[in-house]
Structure formats: C-alpha cells, structure tokens
Structure 1
Amino acid sequence: MNTTEKGDALEIAVFNLFEAQIETDRFFARKDCCRIFRRKGYYSEKRKANIIFDISIEISFPGAPNYSMLILIECKNYAKTVPVDDVEEFFAKVEQAGVANTKGIFVSNSALQSSALNYCKSQGMGVARYFDGQDLKWELQRSASASFAGHSAGSALEAYLGLTRPEYRSSVFELYMHSPHGATNSLNTFFEDLVFHGLAKNAPLHRLPRSRAKRSDMVPYLKLEELENIAHEALTTIGTNADIEPVDLEQLCAHHPAAKGLKLIRTTAELDSSLNHPLARITFEPLVIELFELPGSSSGRNRFTLAHEIGHLLLGHGKYLKAEWRNESDNENIEGFQDDGTALRRMEVQANYVASCLLMPRALVSKAFYEQIQIRGIQNKGFGLLFVDSQECNLNNYYSVTSQLMMQFGVSRAAVTIRLAGMGLIKDARKKQTATPLIEALNRLTKIEVNLD
C-alpha cells in the first residue's frame, strides 16, 4: 500500500467511525442536526477558490437552511511523529475556509510531537491519534471510543500517553483525543469540549438538540451455575469420557451449532524476544480461530486457549466483539470468576470459566479431587479441604493435587485452580506481592470500563 492509499484508508476509517456515531444517534448532537461529508470544498476568500477537506461535519438546528457549526477534519498517515508545521498548516486552512463557530480536528495514526500538541491546545483545535482495528487486542462491534464515558484521571493519562508516545499500542480504543480541555478516550466528551470551547454561556448553540441514546450494559451477568450449564449442554453434543481421556475440543468445534462455519487454523509460531507471545486470534466475521503454537509450549496451555475462544462462541460474544487477540500473559494471569462489572472484563471472565468447565466436567472433577484428597490423607483443619498459603505443607498439597488433575484432564494449573475455586473446593490465602505506586498506576490504566451500549 503506497502513501496515498494509506492516507485514503485512514480517512475512510475515520469517516466511517464518525458516520456510524451520527447514524446511530450517538453523536453529541442529534442525527437530524448533523451532515457528514468526504472531500467537500469550502470557499476561501484569500484563494478565491474552495479548499477541499478530508472530512467535514455540518451541524445545524432542525429545519434551518444553514449550518451553525462547522467541523473540519484532516487525516494524515505518518511513518514518524507529527511535527508542529503540519498542524499549523492545517489550522491556516481552517481559518481561511471557516467563519464563526468553525473547529478543526487533526487526525493522525502517529504520536504527536509535544510542540504540535501544544500548538493545537493554544489554538482551540482538536487532535486525535487513530489505531487500526486489526491491531487492537479487542476489536468491538461498536466503537469503544464512542461508548466510553469516563472522565477519570486514569483515562485522561492513558489518552495522553496514547497521543504522545510513538511506541504506545492501544488495546481497545480506536481514538486517543485531546480537546482544548484535555486528553480523553471518550468521543462524545471530546466533541462537546471542542464545540463549546470559547462559547458564551448564552450562545444559541447551547440550545442545540442533544443526543439522548440510551446506555446499557449489554453483556449480561451470568451466575457460575449458568456458565456451568452452558458448558454442560455443549459437552452433551459430543459426549465425554474425560475420566479416561481429555475432552476433544475439535469435535466440539465440528458439531456445536455455535461453531457452524468455524475455520480452525493451527500455526507454528517462532520464539522471539517478546515476553508476551500471541497465543490465538478469533474473528467472528468470518468465523476463524487461529492458534499460534510455540515450540515446546504445553498442551494444557494450548487446550485452555482454544477452550477460551470456544467459550466466547458459546456465550454469543460475537454480538459485541469483532475480534480478539489472546496473549501469553492472559493465560498466566487468569483471575477466574472475579467479575468487576465492566463489559470487556466480564466477557473475558465468562469465557475463562466456561473454558474450565468444558475441559473439566463437574462430576468428574469432583470425583478426581476427592480421590486425591483421600490418597494423600489431607485433612480439613477448618479452612477447607485444599487450603494453600505460604506454608510448605500446604503448598505441597496444592501442587500434588493440582498436578494430578492437570495430567488427568490435560489442562494447565491455572485452569485447574479456576475450576476448583468455582466449585468451592480450594481456598487460596497466598499473599499477593505488594505493587509499587508506579505499577499500581500502570495497572489502573489497563482497567478499561467500556459500556457496549
């Protein structure tokens, strides 16, 4: 793809995102007040000719013949950071083509130099950095930037890092933005801040009809027994002899209605210097699960990865997700069934738990667990049969029991621990390592609350 084609692709992607926001009445102003264009010309008195802008949005009062607000957008694809000269040039064109109540937005796929960001802030311009959906960890059916409504310091800091750090990679947001009021991940917050910046309190535009699209958490909360039932019903389509041999996940893919048309691909991946290798990618249209198997990787980890993606299918998460990447750290940092109420976290937790239920049917796990408890003479000392803390005797019990279950069911220790915890058969009292303030701050940046309304 040459430079022109890359620029066109960025322009089309941004146009489609904004158009969808307007058409679904999720833009800050009602859709009957907005018209969006590509490559429309606006007259410049200095040039005595039109200046063509990549994207423009005209905002008017219902029934009015002329627009009351004009938003002009330029999209630039860069291989390096955005210099101040380019935003200055764009602002000069906005000034020529616009009259009162005209705002400019500069969109790039690259980070901005600090001088460029400072110039945009000083001129009341908007600026945004776009991340292609193919590169996101979670690609949502509806834009995360359009659904996000947070105003926390953490989200503002994340947005600022996304705008200014060349090496930054987004997990879910297509846009990181900066209005005259500051950095944000929320598209509506960005437009509201930009449009109303500098307007007098009694300005007519404050009476512009606003969008009132209903917001609701569309990812339903499911109890553990409901997740268990989903997995159990799926297993009945193939039968299981997991007490003799591990559950055949490929048979499940071949026979379950939720996996109809699924293409399952296994790709041998090469080890590199990355500490977080991709393990799998699922796309829902077309329906494809690609597993990236590393040399020497454990079959238990590979099986849990596949079961996790199957869990998304059984739970109908294609309604919310276009695609998902699963990385090595996702399997190593499984927290099981702790649902914090956020949409992305909820989907991941649900898929993890369904995966553990698929790989380890309840009755068989219970039978195998109690056999191991009896064989090893483990006694309940008031904390539960399998209690694990930092004491050597309790750690030995934990590792010996879980190791046997790992071998029997062909799964990882993390998957066994999830399953036992969900069944109330283990109590883990090991102390978590205390994080430094910096690590805690970075962790907060990853806790993204996205309302998939």
Structure 2
Amino acid sequence: MNTTQKGDALEIAVFTLLKAQIDADRFFARKECCVISRRKAYFSEKRKASIVFDISIEISLPGATDYSVLVLIECKNYAKAVPVNDVEEFFAKIEQVGEANTKGIFISNNALQSSALNYCKSQGLGVARYFDGKDLKWELQRTASASFAGKSVAYGIEAYAGLTLPDYRSSLFELYMQSPQGATNSLNTFFEDLVFDKLARNAPLRRISRPHSERSELVPYLSISDLEKIASDALVTIGADTDVGQVDLEQLCVRHPAAQGLKLLRTAAAEGAAPHRPLARITFEPLVIELFQMPGSNSGRDRFTLAHEIGHLLLGHGKFLKSEWRDDADNEGAQSIHDDGTSLKRMEIQANYFASSLLMPRERFRNSFYEQLQTRGVQNKGFGALFVDMQECNLKNYYEVTAHLMTQFGVSREAVTIRLSGMGLINDARRTPAVASSRPQDQSIEFETGFE
C-alpha cells in the first residue's frame, strides 16, 4: 500500500466512524442538523479558487436553511510523529475558507510532536490520533470513543499519552483527542468543547439540537445474587448442579441454549508473546471462543479464562461487545478490577464474578471450605473464618485450605482467593485495606457507568 492509499484508508475509516454516529443519531448534534461529506470544496477568496478538504461536517441550527458551524477535517497517515509545520499548513487553509464558526480537526495515525500539539491548542484546533479497530483488545458494538462520556482526570491523562507517545498501543479507544479544553477519549465531549470554545453561555450557537441519551443501551445492573443464579442455572443444563467434581466447561459450551452455533477452538500460542500473551478471545459474529495454548499452561488459570468468556456469552454481553481478548495481565488483576464508570468494566466485573460462581458453586464451595477448616482445626478467633497474615501458622492454614479447594474445583489459588473474598470467608491482612475484603457475603456489587 503506497502513501496515497494509506492516507485514503485513514480518511475512509474516520469518515465511516463519524457518519455511523451521525446516522444513528449518537453524534454531538442531531442527524437532521448535520451534513457530512468527503472531498468537498470550499471557496478561498485569497486563491480565487476552491480548497478541497478530506472531510467536512456542516452543522445547522434547528429550522435553519444554511449551516451555522463548519467542521473541516484533515487526515494524515504518518510513519513518524506529526511535525508542527503540517498543522500550521492545515490552519492556513482553514483561515482562507472559514468564518468565525469554522472549526478544524487534524487527525493522524501517529503521535504528535509537543510543538504541534501546543500549536493546535493555541489556535483552537482539534487534534486526534486514530487507532485501527482490529488491534483493539476490546471492540464494542458501538465505538468506544463515541460511547464514552466521561471527563475524568484519569481518562484525560490516558488520552494525552495516546496523542504524544509514538509507541502507545490502544486497547479500547479508536480515537485519542485534544480540544482547546484538554485531552479526552469522548468523541461527543471533544466536539462540544471544540464547537462551544470561548462562546458565551447565551450564545445562539448553543441552541444546536442535541440527541437524547440512549440509556437502554447500557449494560444492565446485576447483583451478586443475579450472577449466582445465572451460573447455577447454567450448571443445571449439564446436570452439574449436584456433582462434587470439577465443572465440565466444554459440555456447557455444547449443551447450553445460548451457546448454539458456538465454535470452541484451541490454538497454539505464538512464541515470545509474554508477558501479555493472549490467553483467549471471544467474538460474537461469528460466535467463537478461541483458547491459546502453550507448553506448561496452568490448567486452573485456563479454566477460569474459559469460564470468563462463557460469562460474556451467557450474560448477554454480545449486545455490547463485538470481541474481547484476554491475557495474563487480566487474570493477574482479576481481584483488583474495579468499576471506573464505564460499561466495559461492568462487563469485566460481571464475567469475573460469574466465572467464580460457575467454577466454584456457592453452597458446595462453602461446605468444602468449612470441612477443611474443621479437618485442620482452624477456628474463628474474631478475625474471620480464615485469617491470613505473614505469621507462619496462618500462612500454613491458608495454603493448605486453598490447595485442597484448588484441586477439588480445578482452579488457581488466585481464583479460590477471589471466591473466598467475594463470599466474606477470608480476612487477608497481607493485602492493603482497600483490597482486603470483609463485606457480607450477599452484598451487591455497585455499578455506575459513563456511557450515554
């Protein structure tokens, strides 16, 4: 692919993304107020000729016959960081055709030099870096950048890193953006800040008609008891609700009604992929769970990974996800994952808890746990059913009890500890207070989202 073809590919990808949001009425302004075009020409008085721009969006006020805001977009596919000269040239073109309410956005596939980023901000230009969706770890049915509505400091920092670090790799967002107001991952926040920059609160332009939030597309709230019930019902479908051995996950993939047409594949993992080597991938169209195997794989970890992907399927996450990759880092951080205000984290928390419930059914797990305490003479001395700190005797109890549960249920020690923590059966004083769990066994998980 030559330079021109690469540039065209980026332009088409950005145009397709923006047009899809406008057509679905999820854009900054209502679709009846927007006209998006490729390669449209606008007249330059200085040149006495027209200048063609890669993409333009004409936004009108309700009932108006002409547009009130013109957004001009230039797309550049670069092999290295974007220099300031290129954005200066783009700004000069905008000045030749633009009126007061003409806004410019410079989009590249690569990072920007700090001077280029600073110039864009000082001149009121928007700037964005685009990442190809095929490389994303999580791919949503709705583009994450168009769905996300957060303005948190953490996401602003991430967006700035995506804009400035040449080797940055995105796992979720297609676009990392900076308006005159700052960096963001939210497409609608970006356009709002760009269009309304320096406008008075009563400015007529602020009457641009906005779409209403589509709350029906949020991932539904599920309590712990909801997740336990879905896992229990899944076990009933394969007659595993009364078993005492390990849950047969492959039978569940074959016999569960929601898994009709599912292909379960096992693929040899590519060498040299550590430390973040892929463990599994689920795609929903077509419905495939692919497990990546390597010599010396940890069977307990692999079972939890498969149960997690099954969780996405049985919890109906295909309505929101196109695909998801899972790697070592996800399993290592499964206990510390927290809701950060996005539907993605809600789905990850739900799938993790479901996996624990599926592999370690509540009543059977609790009974086995207390049998182990009784066998070993472990007593609750007011610090919890199983208390562990750095004392040798408490560590010995912890490792012996969890080792038995690992063997019985075919899971890792991390998964056992997550389950014990989730059921309020362990007080782990080795962990920080923020991670150690002492909550009642039936307390619900609280979820909040920033998706609109």
TM-score by length of 2: 0.90
Structure 1 residue 263: Cα displacement:
1.9
CA 1:34/1:339 → structure 2, altered by over 3 Å: closer, same or farther? closer
Matched with 1:277 is 277
Matched with 1:441 is none
Matched with 2:347 is 347
Gaps of 5+ in 1: 436-447
Is 1:73 the counterpart of 2:73? The answer is yes
Matched with 1:445 is none
**Distance in structure 2 (CA, Å) of the matches to 1:272 and 1:434:** 35
Matched with 2:103 is 103
Instruction: Say if 1:269 and 1:294, in contact at 8 Å, map to a contact too.
Output: yes
**Distance in structure 2 (CA, Å) of the matches to 1:216 and 1:195:** 28
- Structure 1 residue runs of 4 or more that deviate by more than 6 Å after TM superposition: none
AA in 1 matched with 2:277: H
Matched with 2:409 is 409
Structure 1 residue 8: Cα displacement:
2.7
Matched with 1:84 is 84
Matched with 1:150 is 150
CA 1:422/1:208 → structure 2, altered by over 3 Å: closer, same or farther? closer
CA 1:255/1:452 → structure 2, altered by over 3 Å: closer, same or farther? farther
**Distance in structure 1 (CA, Å) of the matches to 2:46 and 2:338:** 62
Matched with 2:450 is 451
Q: Secondary structure at the match of 1:16?
A: helix
- CA deviations 1:174-233 (Å, max 9, x no partner) are 211111222222222211221122446665323333333355782222222211111111
**Distance in structure 2 (CA, Å) of the matches to 1:279 and 1:146:** 28
Instruction: Say if 1:142 and 1:452, in contact at 8 Å, map to a contact too.
Output: no
AA in 1 matched with 2:67: Y
Further displaced range: 138-147 or 111-120: 138-147
TM-score by length of 1: 0.89
Instruction: Say if 1:271 and 1:295, in contact at 8 Å, map to a contact too.
Output: no
Instruction: Say if 1:270 and 1:295, in contact at 8 Å, map to a contact too.
Output: no
CA 1:196/1:340 → structure 2, altered by over 3 Å: closer, same or farther? closer
CA 1:209/1:260 → structure 2, altered by over 3 Å: closer, same or farther? same
**Distance in structure 2 (CA, Å) of the matches to 1:338 and 1:126:** 32
Instruction: Say if 2:148 and 2:342, in contact at 8 Å, map to a contact too.
Output: no
**Distance in structure 2 (CA, Å) of the matches to 1:24 and 1:217:** 13
- CA deviations 1:330-359 (Å, max 9, x no partner) are 111221796566422221111111111221
**Share of identical aligned residues, percent?**
71
1:257-268 equivalent positions in 2, closer than 5 A: 257-268=257-268
Matched with 2:131 is 131
Structure 1 residue 241: Cα displacement:
8.0
Further displaced range: 28-37 or 237-246: 237-246
1:166-245 equivalent positions in 2, closer than 5 A: 166-199=166-199, 203-215=203-215, 218-240=218-240, 245=245
Q: Secondary structure at the match of 1:17?
A: helix
AA in 2 matched with 1:210: R
**Distance in structure 2 (CA, Å) of the matches to 1:339 and 1:44:** 50
**Distance in structure 2 (CA, Å) of the matches to 1:208 and 1:23:** 17
Instruction: Say if 1:163 and 1:176, in contact at 8 Å, map to a contact too.
Output: yes
Structure 1 residue 249: Cα displacement:
1.1
- CA deviations 1:26-63 (Å, max 9, x no partner) are 32222221111122222233444432222110011233
AA in 1 matched with 2:304: F
Matched with 2:59 is 59
Matched with 2:164 is 164
Structure 1 residue 153: Cα displacement:
2.7
